[in-house]
Amino acid sequence: GRAFAFPRLTERPRPPRASRRSRARQDKARADASSYVFRENNGNRGCAMTCLAPHATSLMAPRVAQPRGVRARAVVSRASSRTVTRAMASTGASLSLGAGRVGAPPRHAAVVAPLRGRRVVPRAASRRAAQPQVRSAGAAKPDPSASAGSKEPGSRSSDGRWSSVVTALADVMAPAVVESLLDEELPAHADIHRGRLSNGLRYVVLPNKVPGDRFEAHLEMHVGSVDEREDEQGLAHLVEHVTFLGSKKRDAWLGSGTRGNAYTDFHHTVFHVHSPTHNKDSTYMIPNVLDILYDVAFNPQLLDTRVAKEKKAVLAEAQMMNTIEYRVDCQLLQHLHWDNNLGCRFPIGKLDQVVTWDAAKVRQFHERWYFPANATLYVVGDFHADVPGVVEMIENAFGAASAATHPEGFVNEVPRSPDSVKAFEGVVGGAGAPSLPNNTPDTPNELRDRHAVRPPVKHAFGCPPSAASAIRENAERASLAHLVDPFQPMVATESGVQLFQHEHLSHVSFNIFSKLPVLPLRHMGDLHRTVNQRIALLVLQSRIQSRYAELDHEHYKRCELDHSDSAREGCTVSTVTVTCEPLHWKYALQVAVEEARRLKQHGLTLGELTRFKSAMMRDSEQLAQQAGFVPSLENLDFVMEHDALGHVVMDQVQGHEALLRLDDVICLEGVNEVARELLGFFAEYGKDATERDPVGGLTTAIVACVPSTTTDNDGVEVPFSIFEQDVIAVLSADYGEIDPIEDVFVPDELLSETDLDELVKARTPTIVSSTVDEKTGVHQRVLSNGIRVNYRVTNNEPGSAFLRLVVPGGRTAESATAGPGGIGAAAVGFRTLQEVGAVGPWSRKQVELITMQNLVMFEVEPEAEYLFLDAAFAVKGGLRTTLEIIHLLTSQPVWDANALERVKDIYRMFELNTQRNLELLTHDAVNHAVFGDRRLMDPNRSELSALTIDGVKDAVTHQLRAGPLEVNIAGDVDPTELDLLIVRYLGTATPGGATHPENDTNPLELLPLTLRNVDPGDAATRQQRVYLRDSDERACAVLAGPGPKMWAPMFNPTLPEISSVKPKDVDGNGTVAQTMAEQLGYHPLDQVNQQAHVAGNPFAAQSARRANPLATFVAGMLLTEVIGGRLFTTVRDALGLTYDCNFQLAFGLQNADSTTYRLVVTSTPAKIDDALNAALRVLRGFKQQRVTQREVERARMTLLTRHETELKTNAYWVDLMQYTALGDTLAPAKEVSCISDLPAMYEASTVEDLYEVYQALGLGDGEVFTCVTVAGKEDPALAKPAVAAALPAESDAGMRAAAAAAASLGMAMTGGMAIAEALKKMGGGGPAAAAAADSGIDVK
């Protein structure tokens, strides 16, 4: 339901943001691209939280789900949180954080295609060191790996690992005290219960109360693409498809509030279910969900028909995912992991092999890998049962799975204990000692177990000299003993530069990697080291971005730093990624090198250490406050990842307490030592070994991703190329003496109390209106300067809050023509304020640092009808800082022509990228056909050139002055304190220089946004075909048409006066009718949803429901879910024409009539027309094959579950409150009551309501717009005579034929499958269709 709260124009390609997919998000996006994502997980996820400073997120435990700003760009990761599907974001020049907005349209990777190709996801590995043994009920023996992630011995002070810290603190702290603290083991999470069944299946159980009455169950099979043989590439992924979709039990339960999904990665396959503890029928769901997972993994129906279907799905999926971003990711992985199968065994596999496999091949793979001892079950949530009870349910569900044993004479493919002795303690997957030869037969009938090393690969590490020597010595000992260890690591040599050039790239990106062993996080010293690493990287990233903004005034560039453990890859990777315009790549790369050298040589300033350490402590404190409020999904993924890496799993409070104890030993010398170690691979690239810092590592891979062409200063496309020696020269050049950096003064406040007192005295701000809605708890205030404030106190995210500033106007207030303040002025101008980064008298750097200190993150975005600024912040310190920035941004904004040019540059690059991106190009063609208004699209190159700094300044200032501004706040705030703060900080603001915005300026002139008036017979406009040159074949089609307005009144028949009701109408007289009305509570002739009436729903009666302003929106959301289900079962599942087909209603406009729907389908060039035609038939088929009650119930449950889940986030409450104070200017129909009415409206909606919306969809021959874009080496129109594919005509005969064919099959019309079978019989409108039409059969 996010669209209700915060709608977006889903059909409009998004302009670039100063943001990029977070490490976790890009990883998950790629994983989803290589796996089957169940259709009920169909909400697109956008991303973007641009902040003015990096955010020092905590390392020890998952946090409350943050809708934005959950992960810093400079990342030191000990484990990844749950990632969001299909999250993609554009890039910009500011430091940023990535996150997802539920319900937002896809944020296509707009400016820069190359993204780091590593997904941080869990791996499971046996931990052989001594651990507390856990004996589960029913287990045959103690599980030696049951405490994975618990305390394990690691490196001690005797290893010398803490020597630099001890030395640095020698003057203030006794060495023995420091060593004792750092040697101390980290505390393990006390509520995590691990065990193992007698058949070998491992389980992890964690009670968690958020969200209440729901739980997560994930079954991890320890098999992935790296386990495939040479002729099985892609088989792990196909088996996942077949097992998941081949389960009848899954079909029986998923949909009634229960959602399922599955994915395959290098090292594992995961099946997961999110479910209510009791479903709507009061059925206790944990046993049923466990039974589903058992059925999926150990009792699947591996039918020939299902295998054939899923082979088609995999082939279609491969086409869909083969974007330029995916190809770049593959290049990065290929060169990063040149030393093992991670560089070539991608989960999607080899399609020429996929087409040859039969069901027998699938069964063989399943039998080899799908056995209990190769699985781990994670169950986390609100169980309504104790842990022993949950364990008993696990035993009942999975105990029947037969334990797998090795046949007699079986030869083990991998050693069972490759890490029994390590070259240096504490390393996971590191220098394994010589082990048993890999040709030793196992004991007959021995219980089969999972591989001890996950993933089972061998790495070449860029270790410092001391670790490299240990690896070499270990290899020599193994060689002398004639022992073979397939996982014995190698020592890498310094890498050269690998170039990947493609015509679909628009930016240059340099990806510099150093691959290292994973160091488990088990002791206080390990945590200390990790904190130091994070501080060093955050400081470096801040310095680089500041120099980019200060020294190069108009060109796009950014640098991202990362140091992450990857269970997926079994290693740690340090990464520097520099992305920039092609013509200025040398300068961008040089700045990054210089700043890395500066930090390595001179270290941090004392002020930097103080600020960044303080920020980390505040963030950790906020995280501890959220203990008990973290969603089960976040906790589960956190535990899974930590267990796989061998890290201790701490809860939030334990993590914060550990960090507090380290406060005194986090010192300047220690951080600088870590910086030397961390940055050596990049700062000293190309140096002779004798000149290198002995603590630094080596670069193990460099991949430069380069476009084939670029545009010059005149906008002319010219050839472009980079050579390896040029990159090496920039990385290794001598840039002379590098001076230390000067510290920056950072104020404690942006508005002093003295200044505020003077403003209050001069302007006498007050609250002129104050109300509280009892049903929702929403407070509404109107300040004396006209600013409206809505806020709600929540305990969803303790210590945190979320704010949104809404400025009415947006693109609708722009001129409809190009000029200095013309098309694009408001959008580009508002982004320019963000790019400037300065407010009032404070510089960008100062604002960045104070927001970092107070954990404040900002995003700005121009929309069609408003501009908005979002802020996520810690209440302590952050609330005041956020209000200060809003005050200064609206009252004293800073404008800079150079920042405007940088923003223009990003827009130009996005325009270029649109022409090189299959999906964006298709959407763009439809946009130009559908919309009659350039303001619904991003400004083009000529419109951007016409904009001036004075023009964009006037455009934004006019909107600020015109008002009324709306501020929405949700979070852990105190109402009394907040009222005082908003009066002082917001009440004294002068938006755009106006003391009373609504009175001090002329009203905005809003030009309505319109759809283009296209002749129904204009086939050239309505049916477009586009060719995109590409090395690989792909195809995308978009279908669009007019749709209903979000707040459009729904048809509501007038009911007669009760006294005039005739006896035959109610089987009585008027008196009886009056009595019935009083007893029933509604008019006797009203149409009533009886189920809703029994539940006491106030909208059970049609007249009451359709009179509610939410009627059209609610019915539209339900219809969207139903259409999505039918598209899946028909176009994807039954016909096998596509992997991805989705439908959306663009409920994104409040007052304009340019609302549309949009259907997007991807496929192969050979099938794209058939897929588009089949999808259109599904849409039109709703006339004959009516929506069933079961479909409505499934859609209702999905939307209500989503709504209830998101109510736990502050950002969603802000979404819900948005516009409720702007009824006089922006959204007249949206009132606070809409928030409380939404669930009841979902519950009460009927099939007839859905058809009121359906009838408003323009689906006729003269109403739809389509564009089919085919990518490949050759234009199909040149290869053969062009034949325009005719869309299926909307005729009664055709629709009757579809319905008749379905009826003749004897199928109950309960979903899209009947349509699919009908289409098969029709042959796409061929003879079968004609015969059916001529038969005269009619189905009602």
**Enzyme catalytic residues:** 240, 310
User: Which of helix, strand or coil describes residue 1193?
Assistant: helix
Q: Please tell me the distance from the alpha carbon of residue 184 to that of residue 522, in angstroms, as a whole number.
A: 9
Which residue type, as a one-letter code, is found at position 629?
A: F
Cis check: omega of the bond before 1288, within 30 degrees of 0: no
The phi and psi torsions of 871 (rounded to 5 degrees) equal: -140, 130
**Which stretches of 1146-1184 are assigned E, i.e. beta strand?**
1156-1163
End-to-end CA distance of the chain: 33
Q: Measured in whole angstroms, how far is the alpha carbon of residue 485 from the centre of its chain?
A: 39
DSSP 479-546: HHTT---TT--EEPPPP--EEEEETT--SEEEEEEEEE-B----BHHHHHHHHHHHHHHHHHHHHHHH
Q: Rounded to whole angstroms, how far apart are CA atoms 1291 and 1288?
A: 9
Closest CA to 882 of 947, 809, 820, 969: 969
In the chain, the largest separation of any two C-alpha atoms, in whole Å, equals: 105
Q: Are 215 and 277 in contact (CB under 8 A)?
A: yes
Note the residue count of the chain: 1340
Closest CA to 4 of 936, 1155, 1235: 1235
In the sheet that holds 269-276, the strands lie side by side as 193-196, 202-207, 375-381, 214-221, 269-276, 259-264
How open is the CA angle 350-516-703, to the nearest 5 degrees?
55
* Tokens (6 digits) for 941: 């190159």
Residue reference for tokens 């500033």: 805
SS3 labels along 1088-1127: ECHHHHHCCCCCCEHHHHHHCCCHHHHHHHHHHHHHHHHH
Cα 90-96-99 angle, rounded to 5 deg: 70
Structure tokens at 892: 């004293």
- How large is the C-alpha radius of gyration of the chain? 31
Residue 976, both tokens? 């009394």
Q: How far is it, in rounded angstroms, from Cα 104 to Cα 960?
A: 25
Torsion sign across C-alpha atoms 256, 262, 268, 274: negative
Please work out, in degrees rounded to the nearest 5, the angle formed at the alpha carbon of residue 783 by the alpha carbons of 779 and 787: 90
Q: In angstroms, how far is CA 243 from the centroid of its own chain?
A: 26
CA-based nearest residue to 1249, from 1201, 1170, 1328, 1195? 1195
750: nearest Cα among 605, 829, 848, 896? 848
**601 and 738 Cβ atoms separated by less than 8 Å:** yes
Nearest-CA neighbor of 405 among 435, 372, 433? 372
Q: What is the 3-state secondary structure (H, E, C) of 882-929?
A: HHHHHHHHHHCECCCHHHHHHHHHHHHHHHHHHCCCHHHHHHHHHHHH
Cα 728 to Cα 725: distance, rounded to the nearest angstrom? 5
Q: Is the dihedral of CA 972, 974, 977, 982 positive or negative?
A: positive
